[in-house]
Structure 1
Amino acid sequence: MSEPFFELKGSLFPLSVIHSSDLTLAGLQTALEKKLSQAPGFFHQAAMVIQLAPEQQNIDFAGIKQLFTALKLVLVGVANASPEQKQQAQAAGLAVLRLGQDAKPTSSASTAAEKQNDSAAASVQQVPMHTKVVEQNIRSGQQIYAKGADLIVRGAVGAGAEVIADGHIHIYGTLRGKAIAGAAGDTGKRIFCHNLQAELVSIAGHYWLSDSLQGDFWNKAACIRMQDDSIVIGEL
């Protein structure tokens, strides 16, 4: 009789990182509920990490963990914790992670990672993308998913509607709802729209909510893309 198979491997997964100056239960609950109301479906059971600052002391990590569970969120752990914060977080059953400069690999490891990323990007580009075309407006409550394809919407995407594509998204009208491009993980995908009023835009797991979008290109034609691991908005 063969032995049961078991293998442990390292891997990377997108996690939402919370930055907040107020980590009291009341303050955190108010901030989270506000964000969840903007895009409830997108954040359902989302894995999250709280980034800490050294001056933040006496944090109720156990209470925060219960709050996340009550809001249908998954608190994986904390990042950049001081020794005291680390001990308290681990006592509450949370992982302690490192983000930013602390998590940079050595130069040799970095070179290997860059080669691996270049190879992965090349293999993604070699996969032919088909195109799904929608000849109408997308109304509130509707969801359109272009699996393994680009998505063209020859109309508007209403508030409460959601368009998702493994490829690029082109919207020939107003984008008021949610647009999620590169759903399969390709950060090279983009979102194009003729009028940006979105509730949420996301590329390969990176996202911005409407309050972050309301800048120079709000109510204008825009192109949304990734640059240096961050979403940027430019002219269409």
Structure 2
Amino acid sequence: MPEADAMQTSQCFQLKGATVSLTALELHFFEPAAFEETLRDKIRQAPGFFRDIPLVVSLEKYEGPTTELDFFQLIGICRRHNIHVVAVRGGDDDQRRLARNAALALLPATAQREAPAPKTEAEPEPETHPEPVQTPDVALSSSNPAPAAARIVTQPVRSGQQVYAPEGDLIILAPVQAGAEVLAAGNIHVYGPLRGRALAGVHGMADARVFCQSLEAELVSIAGHYKISEDLQEQGWKKAVQLRLKDDLLVATPLDKT
């Protein structure tokens, strides 16, 4: 086969949809020295977590002047600490123009739920008496969407591995070793020691929980709220616990007290 024909039949690449977990930095104002000092403090708390992570800068709560928003400086500070700024989220037109000039991707602002319209003192609606409609039980059950299937892992999750359940729960019937990462849209169950990083509710499910037979994790996160190992050792360390959000705070409760 001629070389030109072979190049036509074999594509250089393919584009496929992918779901990845990203860390968002909510920027309130930007002052280079204060920014770098705060970043150092965060990295000291969990150095393994921040190394070589992609970062999205969220401008939805930015209150400083746009003239002080120097993305080139911000990117340079992050790169000095092995953090890679890849995009900005939200922001006004001027802020997004500055981000584009710094070769950053632009992500839309987080969707806000519309508040229900206030009730007015309108005339009461006339009462209606619809005739009862009998629906077969089969029709009722088929109208409910089937729950997302859980992903079940039977082998240990070793250092450097990442296991992801993009739609439902993640059930691991083995240990999660230090340096490993497990993520799920729903709950995470670890029937063994949890020594790596566990991120549940990665799409924002605040009711998600993390269950493990022995809490020894480097980091646990639920719907973006996280605690590192130093904080986790204050309650339930090396015990069978469940972790959940309570008033936006991650709390651990022994499984024998639930």
> Are 2:161 and 1:142 equivalent residues in the alignment?
yes
* Shift, 1:16, TM fit: 4.1
What is the total number of aligned residue pairs between the two structures? 188
1:212 alignment counterpart: 231
CA-atom RMSD in angstroms: 4.3
* Shift, 1:27, TM fit: 3.4
Mapping of residues 1-12 of structure 1, within 5 Å: none
2:47 pairs, out of 12, 19, 37, with: 37
2:242 pairs, out of 218, 223, 226, with: 223
Change (3 A) 1:31 1:172: same
> Are 2:185 and 1:173 equivalent residues in the alignment?
no
- Structure-1-length-normalised TM-score: 0.60
- Residue type at the aligned position of 1:174: P
CA distance in 2 between partners of 1:47 and 1:127 (Å): 36
Note if contact 1:68-1:75 (Cα within 8 Å) is conserved in structure 2. no
| Overall identity of the aligned pairs, in % | 36
Change (3 A) 1:147 1:26: closer
CA distance in 2 between partners of 1:230 and 1:135 (Å): 31
* Shift, 1:145, TM fit: 1.0
1:186 pairs, out of 205, 216, 234, with: 205
CA distance in 2 between partners of 1:18 and 1:231 (Å): 22
- Structure-2-length-normalised TM-score: 0.56
Listed as ranges, the gaps of 5+ residues in structure 1 are 1-13, 53-59, 78-89, 95-108, 113-124
Listed as ranges, the gaps of 5+ residues in structure 2 are 1-22, 63-67, 90-94, 100-113, 118-143
Change (3 A) 1:42 1:67: closer
CA distance in 1 between partners of 2:75 and 2:156 (Å): 40
Which of the two has higher C-alpha Rg?
Answer: 2
Note if contact 2:157-2:177 (Cα within 8 Å) is conserved in structure 1. yes
Deviation track 1:6-40 (CA, whole Å, cap 9, x = no partner) reads: xxxxxxxx844589xxx547634532442462313
1:117 alignment counterpart: none
Mapping of residues 11-160 of structure 1, within 5 Å: 15-17=24-26, 24=34, 27-28=37-38, 30-35=40-45, 37-40=47-50, 43-47=53-57, 66-68=76-78, 70=80, 71-73=83-85, 128-160=147-179
